[in-house]
Structure 1
Amino acid sequence: MPWTKAARLQYQRSGLRYTSDLTDAEWALIARKMPPRRRLGRPREVDLREIVQAIFYILSSGCQWRALPKEFPPYSTVQGYFYAWRDTGRWQEIVEALVRKARRKLAGC
């Protein structure tokens, strides 16, 4: 299926820092799957959108954890969130939501 002008504009990623970064629409789809803030304990200091974007950067570039650019949170923080989400099944939920959205677009629904 060839690209149309409308599709090119919709999927254009030129305004983003990295091509693996999330658009606002993509983040809105994933934000519902993020863990809520805890009532007790130390408040969260890291932006979860930056964590997800760092994970997508690693997945798309194939770089090592330690080679994560300095614009992202520390690699140990990103790695900790990724492992916790993987172990609790949250990462699977995120991936399934993205796959469902992509399949709906392909089916034309």
Structure 2
Amino acid sequence: MDKAAYLDVVFEIIRRNEEKAYFPGLPRRWVVERSFGWLNRWRRLVRDYERHIDVSIAIIHVAMGGMLIWRTAHR
């Protein structure tokens, strides 16, 4: 089973506008990219080692909780 379909995630491909010479960035994309960068610090999330999707989801929740606690403690 595809994980994106299981989690009901929809991806949207943004096409480049040929009239403009540059690709306009999305306004808050850096927040998502930064969060993915922080998640890559967790070794088990770098590669998909888990056989069951429930374990992967639980590890993501633990990692996000750890990031939330760290950010709260360092403010």
Q: What TM-score, normalized by structure 1, do the two folds share?
A: 0.25
Which has the larger share of helix?
1
Larger radius of gyration: 2
TM-score (norm 2): 0.34
